[in-house]
Amino acid sequence: MISGSISGAARLLSVSQPAISRLLAYTQDRLELRLFERVHGGTQPTPEAQRLFTEVDQVLQGVLRVNELTEELREHFADLRVEFEILTQLDVIAKITSARADLGVSVLPVDAPAIQSEVVTEGHLMAHAA
């Protein structure tokens, strides 16, 4: 949506236009949503795509904020090491129980006896029309 076209997205990401088209088709199939419509020889985002873009942008801004916070923490704790990984809940639990991580974040409740968990917020990640 930033580039205004599929070929523009391909140039922006340094991949082929067919690769973008395949990824877009796969994403639409997985989400069971039509994200773009063909109009006048081009594509136009659907209202669902515009809402999804807004949600994804908020997530991206949150990830960027984590980087900023990490830098602020490093100013006070020089030996601090922070890694940001997107993992399944089982992988997060495995890393914590094997002492490969001290902290994990999950959107689902954690039911593992070896892990102390705490709810820090509640809410909906995203909703769309069925």
Q: Write the pLDDT tens digit of every residue in 50-90.
A: 999 998 888 888 888 888 888 888 888 888 888 888 889 99
Examine residue 104 and state whether it is found in any structural domain, yes or no. Answer: no
Give the domain range for residue 5.
Answer: 1-45
Q: In the predicted model, is pLDDT for residue 128 greater than 60?
A: no
Calculate the CA dihedral of residues 80, 81, 82, 83 and round it to 10 degrees: 180
Examine residue 19 and state whether it is found in any structural domain, yes or no. Answer: yes
What's the pLDDT score for residue 71?
A: 86
Residues 6+ apart with CB under 8 A from 119: 109
Examine residue 3 and state whether it is found in any structural domain, yes or no. Answer: yes
Examine residue 8 and state whether it is found in any structural domain, yes or no. Answer: yes
CATH code, domain with 13: 1.10.10.10
Examine residue 72 and state whether it is found in any structural domain, yes or no. Answer: no
Examine residue 35 and state whether it is found in any structural domain, yes or no. Answer: yes
Q: In the predicted model, is pLDDT for residue 49 greater than 80?
A: yes
Domain count, the chain: 1
**Matching residue, tokens 């039911």:** 111
Is 17 within 8 Å of 10 (Cβ atoms)? yes
Structure confidence by residue, pLDDT tens digits, 21-36: 999 999 999 989 999 9
Examine residue 67 and state whether it is found in any structural domain, yes or no. Answer: no
Name the residue with higher pLDDT: 105 or 96: 96
DSSP secondary structure, the chain, as one string: --SSSHHHHHHHHTS-HHHHHHHHHHHHHHHT---EEEETTEEEE-HHHHHHHHHHHHHHHHHHHHHHHHHHHHHH-TT---------HHHHHHHHHTTS-S----SS----TT----------S-----
Name the residue with higher pLDDT: 121 or 97: 97
End-to-end Cα distance, the chain: 23
pLDDT interval class at 124 (50, 70, 90):
low
Examine residue 17 and state whether it is found in any structural domain, yes or no. Answer: yes
